[in-house]
Amino acid sequence: MIRLAWPDVGPEEAAAAAEVLEGGQLTMGEKVAELEGELASACGVEYAVAVSSGTAALHLAVLALGIGEGDEVLVPAYTFPATANVVALAGARPVLVDVDPKTMNLDAGRVYDGVTPNTRAVLAVHLFGRPLDWEELQNAVPPDVHLVEDAAGALGARWRGMPCGGLGELGCLSFHPRKIVSTGEGGAVTTQNGELADSIRRLRHHGISTDGEFDIPQPGFNYRLSDVLCAIGLVQLRRLEDLWEARHRLAKAYTARLETIVETPGAAKGDRHGWQAYVVQLDRRDQALAALREAGIEAQIGTYAVHRLSAYADQGPFPGADACYERALALPFHSRLTEGDLDRVAEVLDKVVSE
């Protein structure tokens, strides 16, 4: 069986976790601030706030901007549904915007069309780690619309040399096992804005004030990340360049085998793909998925067309998102794959395509 994902964690991560366990301070200890400091520098920003998941990061980003009832937030129609869910859970309306089926990222022209007087923000995704063209996005919306990055899969990616996760007013990261840096579950919000950082710190910890007398000015959550997981995250983050190199090499090896068979992924010229996943596109996707599974190879659809979920079914049509939803295929992608494994994947796809 060739697995779809396999987090690259080993003895160093285990030792870091063991040290915290032995120290007895399992949460709200010093590992949190240490991880936050290194995340902020990795993204080229002043502040990072560690939270319990990428979804928690997105939720707090929306709430910290004061978005709620009566507000609209533009969200790609093709993304992991958490991007839309957090907007709805904040009481605002997620307005779906179609994607460019080639890049699978937001189509800037459609973003422009989606803006109304009620638009407060865009949740812009770098899908599968491919940097979204940030300048096109900035030009598509009025300057008072907040730009929030869903960089859940884009730690290590760069747009024109600048780290993804540091491009927006707020950036949201995930450390889920299918992301490049993994703590099992985990996430963070990044920002240059000290007030927003403070607000996110309060909201992740029940709403409790971060200075002065004990007070709760606004109710919050427990969205904290434990010291055990922060310690693992620190080791992972210090390995980020190596983890990225390994994924970059693997992506090149896949592309060399597949570029004449299917549409292979890549970044725009001058950008660096983050390689959260290796997602190809092809017409006979469902047949390919079945054939891979039949051959003992775990594969998966890319992600979801949000307007095809019942919670969001009142919007559309979105032909770009439909095309991605029907054609995208995520291939096994992790550091334990061998050249032989890649050959097996390519062989199965070649057979399906030429049938």
Ligand X SMILES: *Cc1c(COP(=O)(O)O)cnc(C)c1O
Tell me which residues touch ligand X (CB under 6 A): 53-55, 79-80, 82-83, 125, 150, 152-153, 174, 176, 187
Residues 273-304 as b/e (b if ≥16 CB within 10 A, e otherwise) read: bbbbbbbbbbebbeebbebbeeeebebbbbbb
| Shortest separation between residue 179's beta carbon and ligand X, angstroms | 6
Half-sphere exposure of 110 (CA within 13 A, CB side): 21
243 vs 346, which CB is nearer to ligand X? 243
If the CB atoms of residues 106 and 352 are measured against ligand X, the closer one turns out to be: 106
Alpha helices in 24-90 (DSSP H): 30-43, 54-64, 82-89
Cα–Cα dist 200/207, whole Å: 9
Q: Between residues 125 and 229, which has the closer beta carbon with respect to ligand X?
A: 125
Nearest residue (beta carbon) to ligand X: 54
Of 61 and 297, CB closest to ligand X: 61
Residue 152 or 348 with smaller CB distance to ligand X: 152
CA-to-CA distance for 30 and 231, rounded, in angstroms? 9
User: Would you give the end-to-end CA distance of the chain in angstroms?
Assistant: 24
**At its nearest, how many Å lie between ligand X and the CB of residue 149?**
10
Nearer to ligand X, 267 or 348 (CB): 267
Q: Minimum distance from CB of 153 to ligand X (Å)? A: 4
- Which amino acid is located at 165 in the chain? G
To ligand X, the closest distance from the beta carbon of 172 in angstroms equals 7
CA atoms of 36 and 171, how far apart (whole Å)? 13
Give the chain's count of helices (H) and strands (E): 12, 14
Sign of the CA dihedral running 95, 99, 105, 110? negative
Q: Please state the closest distance from residue 261 (CB atom) to ligand X, in A.
A: 26
Nearest distance, CB of residue 189 and ligand X, angstroms: 12
Return the closest-CA partner of residue 227 out of 29, 82, 63, 43. 29
